[in-house]
Amino acid sequence: MSGDQVAGVNLRSGQFKHVFSDNDLRAVITNGISGTAMPPHSFNPAELAAIVAYIRNMATFDARNVSLGDAKRGEALFNGAGNCGSCHRVDGKGPRVAPDLSNVGALRTADLLERSLVDPTGAMLPINRSVRAVTRDGKVITGRRLNEDTYTVQLIDDHEQLVSLDKSQLSEYTVIKTSSMPSYKDKLNSQELADVVAYLLTLKGAK
């Protein structure tokens, strides 16, 4: 139950239409949203605080237990032995080839973050898949998919340019289902993995 029956709302991911602060969240729960199916509720302050805390922590509820390590050590691994920063960007630093992780701690659960490290292909969201396109005049374009519809595809190419392609003008178009990210299953030990996950969970986006 993530609230995603409502367009633009995903409680687990911290996505709201009318809410920015905890005060906003309390106001919406208390007053409802006029003209929508969101009704008003009469909770006492303690109940309200508990509900807000629950919603704010939904992103860290996991289907299974994931051990969290030391975020400081995780940051060092991210920028050092893990070499994550060679593809991922955090807080304005690093390339944009792979997804920007500046707010990944607000979007993904610890469970999913760990899976991404251990099994990058299995855990990769399909929207992030790489694509390879060949134009009719033989030009090869590769990059990370940002969006796609029946007739076009939008990507950020290997030169970090935003590119929109008309599929009818392509001689080849392939969505690559294998992630180019290496698995860290054997590259990091379990403590190191836990440290990196802990660090990633601290990434909540620009303040």
Q: Contact residues for another protein (CB under 8 A)?
A: 1-2, 4-8, 10, 34-37, 39, 108-109, 112, 115, 123, 125-127, 129, 145-151, 175
Report the DSSP pairing between strands 170-176 and 162-166.
unpaired
Of the two residues 30 and 83, which places its CB atom closer to another protein in the complex? 30
Residue whose CB is less far from another protein, 42 or 150: 150
Identify which of residues 56 and 167 has a Cβ nearer to another protein in the complex. 167
Q: Tokens 């602060």: give the residue.
A: 21
Rg (CA), the chain: 20
104 vs 198, beta carbon nearer another protein: 104
CB of 40 to another protein, least distance (A): 9
27/123 with CB nearer another protein? 123
SS3 79: helix
- The counts of H helices and E strands in the chain are 7, 5
Both tokens of residue 142?
């590769």
The least distance separating another protein from the CB of residue 147, rounded to whole angstroms, comes to 5
- Phi-psi bin for 169: left (phi > 0), alpha (psi -120 to 50), beta? alpha
Minimal distance, residue 5 CB to another protein, in Å: 6
Query: What minimum distance in Å lies between the beta carbon of 72 and another protein?
Result: 26
Q: Kindly list the strands in the beta sheet with 152-157, ordered across the sheet, starting from the edge strand earlier in the chain.
A: 162-166, 152-157, 140-148, 130-135, 170-176
- Cβ 58 to another protein shortest distance, Å: 13
